[in-house]
Each structure stands twice: as C-alpha cells, then as structure tokens.
Amino acid sequence: MDELHSLDPRRQELLEARTSVGTKGLTNNECSNHSFGSLGSLSDKESEVKFLFSVRGPKISDYFDVSIGLLPCVCWIHVKWQIFCLSAVRNFYFVTDLTVLKLAALESTKNLDLEKKEGRIDDLLRANCDLRRQIDEQQKLLEKYKERLNKCITMSKKLLIEKSNQEKQTCREKSMQDRLRLGHFTTVRHGASFTEQWTDGYAFQNLVKQQEWINQQREDIERQRKLLAKRKPPTSSSSQTPTTNSEPKQRKTKAVNGAETEYHEQEEIFKLRLGHLKKEEAEIQAELERLERVRNLHIRELKRINNEDSSQFKDHPTLNERYLLLHLLGRGGFSEVYKAFDLIEQRYAAVKIHQLNKNWREEKKENYHKHACREYRIHKELDHPRIVKLYDYFSLDTDTFCTVMEYCEGNDLDFYLKQHKLMSEKEARSIVMQIINALKYLNEIKPPIIHYDLKPGNILLVDGTACGEIKITDFGLSKIMDDDNYGVDGMDLTSQGAGTYWYLPPECFVVGKEPPKISNKVDVWSVGVIFFQCLYGRKVRGSWIVLK
C-alpha cells in the first residue's frame, strides 16, 4: 500500500493503462458519481466496492503481446492495484463525509446570506421605485414650473413691449408738440441736392421779437436822451447876468430852475427805463439759454426717433433668445445701442449691435470683427465699480454681432457739459477722483491697460447728475501693456491718428521714422483736460497748438 501511495502519478497512469479498460472505466465512473452524486451510507459504498472487485475486464494479453512468463508479475500488479483502489475509495468517502458537513453548514450560511441579499435587493428595489416615483413627481413639477416660467417670461415680454410702445408714443407726441414750440427740420433744395435746415419754433420767435422790441425801446430812449441833452437848461452860475430890475430876475430864475428840474426828472426816467430794459434783456437771455438746452434735447430726440424708425430692430425682437430690445438709445457710424431687457437674469442691459457694411471687402470686415473681439476680450476681464461691465457677446449673422453691457440710466459727461457749460469745483473733483480710481485699477491688473480714449463722451453719469457715480466705457482703442510690447520707454503707438485729438498728449502726434512711444501717462493727460473743461466750460487752449 505504501508503495502504491509512493508511486509517481505518471507511473500510476501507466499501470492504469495496462490494467483492464473496463475496470478503469468503472472505477472512474464510480469516483465521478461519488464526487457529484447524492449522499449515501457507507455499506452501500462497500457493496459498490465488492462489485468493483467482481467485475473483470478484458485480459491484458488481449492488448499486449507478451510471453506467458510475465503473467505472475502482471497478476501481482493487478492485485496491488485493486487494494490501492479500495483504500482510495475508503479515504475518498471519509473525506467526502467531512466535506458534506462543511458544505451543509456552508450551504445554510449561504442560504442566510442569500436571503439577506434578496431582502436587501427587495429593499433597494422598493427604494428605487420610490426614487423613480419622486423623480417623476419632480419632473412633472419641473415641467409645471417651466411652463409657469415661460408664461411669466411671455407676460413680462408683453408688458415690457406695451410699456415701450407707450413710451414711444409719448415721446413722439411730445416731439410733435415741441416741433411747434422749439422748431423742426425742413428739407431745402440747393440745386440738385436736398439738405435739412433747422427752423426755430414760436418760443424762439417770441423771444427774438421781445429782444427786437427791447432794442427798439433802447434806441428810442437813447434818441430821446440826446434830444433832452440838447434842451438841457444852463446852470444857475452861467445864467446870472447883471440886471437892473429885481422882479424880472426872480421870474427868470424860477423858470430856469423849473426847466432844470424837469430835465433831471426826465433824465432819471430814461435811466430807469434803460435799467428795466436791461433787466428784461437779461431775463430773455437766460430764457434763450434755457430754450437752447431744451432745443438740444429736442434735436437729439428727433434724430433718435428718426434713426429708430429706420432701424431693422424697431419691432422689439428677442436676440439670442434672451435679450428683448425695447428702444433705441443712440446710433453711431456702424453700430446701434438699444435698451434691452435680459429675460434670464431679469435686468436691463445695453445691447450694442455692430452692423458691417455689406459692400466692404472681406479683409475690412475681418479687421473690424477682429477689433471688436479684441475690445470684448479686454473689457470682459475688467471688474471695477467705476467701469461699465460687459455681460455677453454673440453673433446674429456674418455681418452683424452684438455686445451686451451694463445699462446706465443717465447721460454722458459730454452731454451734461453741453447743457450746463461747467460745474462746481466739488463736483468736478468728485468726478476726477472716480476716474483716477478706475485708472489705478487698470494699471494694477496684469497686464496693465491704457484706455487711450478718455473723453467726456466715454464717461457715463449713472443718474445724469454731476454729484453722483460715474462709469468709464468704450475700450475700443485700449492698449495692453504686456511684456512683449511694453518696454522702459513705453510701447509703440501703432494706431496713430485714432482717438479724440482734444484729449491726447503731444507725444501722440510726433511724426518720425519710428512710431511714437506711449505709456499710461496718456490717460493722465486726458484726465487733466477733462478736469479743466469741467471747471471752465471749454477745452484747453494748448489743444489748438497740438492740432496745428
């Protein structure tokens, strides 16, 4: 037995091949059945072993051509093999009995785990169903809220359009009334062309008539004063002549004194009348200046209405499915600025619509678009309370694109100065302090930025007065002072000739072989010119020298 156990597995296979094929097959089948069959008693297995010994297969001589002398050896090996198989079967059933106990315990454990897992799966399925039901409910609720939101947006659009139409109608009615009072444009033919000529209204005509009447009264008074001066009586010292009769002398003295008194009375009346006329003339002049300011507003409104009526965006379109255009704020060379309402953020905004000329060459269109994109990239990164915020940028078609900016209710500083000429030192100082604060921010960010086009037209008064907040806008000509372009002496001015001449320093006009160098001092110069204009109501005289 020990020898059989010590045999190498390959040798065992060789012995198995030399034994009966039937015995081998039966033994294998039995082992296979015992490995995977049902559990039985040990007596049953012993009977199966007896059956194993009783079964004999074909003789070995049937498979091998051997001599008769080897038969005892083969029989001995066959007996040894049967003893080995019996021992193996007994050991197998002993091991199998131990494993079955473990398998039973393992099976019970697995069954418990399986029940727990099935219970957990059921719980998860129920939770999943609950979550799906909640998701469906939330989805329905979301759809309901979306529907409500769309209704609110639709109603908001409707109300905003109605309000805008009412404001437009009111502006046009007021404009028609002011046409008679302040004046209007009339078309006049000059040869083969037609030009628009301004005609004053009855308010200016009445003031002109009053001024003419005052001038006529002044001329009459001056003429009467000259005539009175010719009739001026002689003084008492010059009228004293030697006379012999005292009574006629007294009568003559009384007559002279009466004429002199009348002269002085009349002279005083003429002076009072001239003073009164001067006062009336001052009032007329003040009223004329006030009407001129109102007329400027009226002319501006007439131009705005005319531009709005000729615009293709006058019928309240919604751009980019978000911005509802309300009315036109202003119009430039190639752009229009509309007051709009952001339907998503629920706030007012200023939408600047850039329209390229369709007759331009593609190269010119590309340059204009590149310039606008550059302004957008610069302006988008700026975040300061004294700088107008840029919200969005999008294209409508190949020739039209839009920029969305912060909306300011008031006008710009240029319009304010045209209306009021100048302002107090405190108001001017407040405006300059806010501008300097914004310039400080532009020079502290990386890379620093030169605005290059600071002027009253690019300074917005938030509430339209000089005593409130201001915001800087229009970064179309701004320069980026990066390391590649900015050196110790400054950066090259590649856009010489651009900008507003009145507010640029002398170095921007230097003509030479190389472009002039500029720095952030350009904006400092512009602030000084703006400060001077706010205080004195006119531009710096040195600007004339620069222009020459």
| Residues designated as active site | 453
Residue 415 contacts residue 522 (beta carbons within 8 Å): no
**Residues written for the chain:** 548
Both structure tokens of 238: 């010059």
State how far the Cα of 495 lies from the Cα of 52, in Å rounded to an integer.
Answer: 111
Both structure tokens of 460: 């917005």
Both structure tokens of 1: 């037995």
Residues 6+ apart with CB under 8 A from 316: 161, 164, 324, 325, 326
3-state secondary structure of 245: coil
Strands (E), 110-192: 183-190
Is 517 assigned to a binding site?
Answer: no
Residue 472 contacts residue 459 (beta carbons within 8 Å): yes
Task: Indicate the helix (H) or strand (E) that contains 8.
Answer: none
Residue 61 contacts residue 74 (beta carbons within 8 Å): no
Identify the CA nearest to 324 among candidates 304, 303, 346: 346
State how far the Cα of 332 lies from the Cα of 79, in Å rounded to an integer.
Answer: 118
Residue 509 contacts residue 548 (beta carbons within 8 Å): no
State how far the Cα of 25 lies from the Cα of 429, in Å rounded to an integer.
Answer: 114
State how far the Cα of 228 lies from the Cα of 380, in Å rounded to an integer.
Answer: 77
State how far the Cα of 387 lies from the Cα of 382, in Å rounded to an integer.
Answer: 8
Question: What angle, 0 to 180 degrees and rounded to 10, lies between the N-to-C axes of helices 71-181 and 9-18?
Answer: 120
Both structure tokens of 307: 């531009």
First to last CA, the chain: 128
3-state secondary structure of 89: helix
Q: Which residue has the tokens 């012999």?
A: 244
Annotated binding-site positions for ATP: 352
Q: Annotated binding residues, as ranges?
A: 352
